[in-house]
Amino acid sequence: MTKFVSIGFRPDIQGLRAIAVLLVILGHAGIPWVAGGFVGVDVFFVLSGFLISGLLLQEYEATGGLSLGTFYLRRLRRLLPALMVVLGLTSIMIVWRLPEADYRLILASLPFAASWTSNLYFVLGEQDYFNELADKDVFLHTWSLGVEEQFYLLWPLLLLGFIAATKVLSLRLSLLLLVVSSFLTSVAWSYWNPISAFYMMPARIWQFGLGGLVYLYCTDCRGSNITASGYGINTLFASGLLLILGSAFLLDHQTLYPGYRALFPSAGAAFVILAGSMKPAENFSSIGLAHPLLRWLGDRSYSLYLWHWTIIIYLGIIDFKVASVHSRLWLILLLTLLLAEFSYRWIELPFWKKGLASLPARTFLLGASATVLLLLVVAFRVQRASFSPETKADLATLIRNDVPVIYQKGCDTWHESTKVEPCVFGSADAPNTAVLLADSIGAQWFSAWAQIFASPQWRLVVLTKSACAMVDEDYYYKRIGKVYDVCRQWRESVLEQIDSFNPKVIIVGSAATYDFSPAQWVEGSKRVLERLSAVSERVVLVSGTPVLGFDGPGCILHQMQVNHRLEPDDCIGELSTDKFIQVAQFLSDAASNFSNVQLLNLVDLVCPRSQCRAMLPTAIPVFRDTQHLTDTFVRSTEAYLRTQISDIATTKEIE
């Protein structure tokens, strides 16, 4: 068998770790020019495959086998203590700061993070469109730790199988076949089910395998005493860095990922590792990545990764005010560095290389098991609290549940189905029919329209699909990780069927936050309005309303708990309404092409004088999350909406 070379301490690898974790932190912190910072995780996967493959193959060569128990114990000592501390302290801070109903939602993934299965949770867990708090999950970043641990569990067994099969296939060829098959699976899965492709280990194992191939190639290079030229090494190193950094700068969250694009940062990591493995040892890659600062950050990369996301989310949850975006970034970096240094110095190192590393395996495993069990018990206790009949709904929960009745009738299937399932209110014999065609922002006005277009004169038909723009343009939907084809197909079906309702009035509306260009807003809206105006006497086009920018119910509850009242300057959004006014103008331009289309601009109604409030001075909550209006507020606007369309509806009775 090939004589496997020892990896030893590689300062350039520590530097590469530093670059990877910095990209992840900057990307998650919202720095626009590093929107693709998530590729840092791909770099970590390749690094893990390189290092773990090397350690296991060297052990097999030295002993003729693999001690799986010893290997798994080393991984536990290295990774578990710091993870438990971060999970525990973060949970305490969340429970201390937030109301019960909120922290139940935010900590829903805790038991899965503690058991290294959170990637499965984020794929298989039930999604709720209106559960914005789920998007603020403080343990979302642990999905990659789940993938790594599942790799650690499987990889030694795979290597043993590949070694046993060397009479048929060489180890290198077996690894290559695994890498190619997993990569092709990942590419196909990215189009079929991108969320699973992103989070699941089978679609990621090719990156670990790529690291293993790099190790085998490095072994061959050393064994044959191949010496690459300094120019060749520098070119390989520079190409690798360019692929990593270019991916981070050019990709963003609207990119279908991983797919084939994941090959670029992964190959970049492979090139950088390979360049640092070649002779001569003193080459540009070692000098460039062995800078003391990069080495210091690389040593702490695990703790930096553990802490950064929880800090970003926690600051957002408590609505921590900072002077500017730059100040926020520096605060995130400072807190992350401080907590990472604490975690590394007092948790990681002691269990990894210092005093506590000498704990007998039995003692460590008993302590670790007890800690994980305690955390799981607490996590499940937190979740079970939601089923207690004695639990009283707090103010924030009441506001969040202030939604229109349409969501109790199942006529919004979100991204799950293209089937058109209308909700009908009023008698089928009503002489007039109004149709509400909208996404969740347009549909939030339902209760006001139900009062205006009421029985016995009117029948109201509701056709709604959350996050589905009433604009004839394709767009990427981050929540499902791909272009929202379901929306396009559903919208087309609705437009084909809508004349069957014989509508006298069609109210159509959607959010103003879709990432369309001005031309797309105008032309895409015009194409929809052309078809609607042809089948209805009147079309009312409702512009998207401004967003609050923070969780309204949470802010209200916090102020009531702290000050026992809501001051006039409390819970006021600071985001500009200019974008929403601009989109309303685009819609006006589109509507101007049709004599029977009326634009209803409600920006000033929701946020008068460009000031959005979580609650009105009259104690009416305005927002039930960061962007959707409460049903109570919508009902209070009925008189205003009636005056805007007074020539259409004249009755106030409601069934």
pLDDT digits (tens, 9 = 90+) for 255-312: 889 999 999 999 999 999 998 887 554 554 555 788 899 999 999 999 999 999 999 9
Reference 204, options 256, 147, 152; nearest CA is 147
Instruction: Note the pLDDT of residue 654.
Output: 36
Q: What phi and psi values does residue 633 have, to the nearest 5 degrees? A: -65, -45
Report the percentage of the chain scoring pLDDT > 70.
Answer: 92
Q: 3-state SS string over 348-384?
A: HHHHHCCHHHHCCHHHHHHHHHHHHHHHHHHHHHHHH
Tell me the pLDDT of the chain averaged across its residues: 89
Q: Which of the four pLDDT bands, split at 50, 70 and 90, describes residue 317? A: confident
Q: What is the pLDDT averaged over residues 507-531?
A: 96
Same domain for 222 and 125: yes
Instruction: Note the pLDDT of residue 173.
Output: 94
Instruction: Note the pLDDT of residue 135.
Output: 67
- DSSP β-ladder status, 476-477 and 482-483: antiparallel
Between CA 463 and CA 655 the distance in angstroms is: 19
Instruction: Note the pLDDT of residue 385.
Output: 55
DSSP secondary structure code for residue 544 in this structure: P
Asked if 312 contacts 29 with a C-beta cutoff of 8 angstroms, the reply is yes
Between CA 624 and CA 398 the distance in angstroms is: 9
Structural domain includes residue 655: no
Counting other chains too, the contacts that 482-487 makes at CB distance below 8 Å and 24 or more residues apart are: 482/190, 482/191, 482/194, 482/256, 483/256, 484/415, 486/415, 486/416, 486/417, 486/418, 487/415
Structural domain includes residue 398: no
Last residue of a domain, one of 354, 385, 416: 385
Instruction: Note the pLDDT of residue 567.
Output: 80
Please give the single-letter amino acid code of residue 563. N
pTM of this structure: 0.86
Instruction: Note the pLDDT of residue 133.
Output: 64
In tens, the pLDDT along 168-197 reads 889 999 999 999 999 999 999 998 889 999
Kind plus residue range of the DSSP H or E element containing 28: helix 11-28
Residue 427 has pLDDT above 80, yes or no: yes
Higher pLDDT, 322 or 280: 322
Higher pLDDT, 626 or 569: 626
Same domain for 515 and 381: no
Same domain for 359 and 411: no
Q: Which of the four pLDDT bands, split at 50, 70 and 90, describes residue 222? A: low
pLDDT-wise least confident of 51-65, 194-208, 485-499, 566-580: 566-580
Same domain for 191 and 44: yes
Instruction: Note the pLDDT of residue 8.
Output: 74
Domain around 507: 405-546+574-611+630-644
Last residue of a domain, one of 385, 416, 431: 385
Return the exposure string of 144-180: e unless at least 16 CB atoms fall within 10 Å of the residue's CB, then b: bbbbbbbbbeebbebbeebbeeeeeeebbebbbebbe
Instruction: Note the pLDDT of residue 2.
Output: 58
Question: How many domains does the chain contain in total?
Answer: 2
Instruction: Note the pLDDT of residue 387.
Output: 41
Same domain for 175 and 128: yes
DSSP secondary structure code for residue 99 in this structure: -
Reference 449, options 540, 331, 570; nearest CA is 540
Instruction: Note the pLDDT of residue 278.
Output: 78
Between CA 453 and CA 536 the distance in angstroms is: 15
Same domain for 581 and 515: yes
Asked if 375 contacts 87 with a C-beta cutoff of 8 angstroms, the reply is yes
Instruction: Note the pLDDT of residue 160.
Output: 94
Same domain for 463 and 355: no
Instruction: Note the pLDDT of residue 649.
Output: 58
Same domain for 268 and 121: yes
Structural domain includes residue 400: no
Q: What is the pLDDT averaged over residues 569-592?
A: 92
Structural domain includes residue 155: yes
Same domain for 304 and 196: yes
Asked if 605 contacts 640 with a C-beta cutoff of 8 angstroms, the reply is yes
Structural domain includes residue 552: no
First-to-last alpha carbon distance for the chain, in angstroms, is 83
CATH code of the domain covering residue 436: 3.40.50.1110
Q: Which of the four pLDDT bands, split at 50, 70 and 90, describes residue 391? A: very low
* DSSP codes, 33-86: GGTTTTHHHHHHHHHHHHHHHHHHHHHHHHHSS--HHHHHHHHHHHHHHHHHHH
Same domain for 18 and 150: yes
- Partners of residue 435 on adjacent β-strands: 461, 506
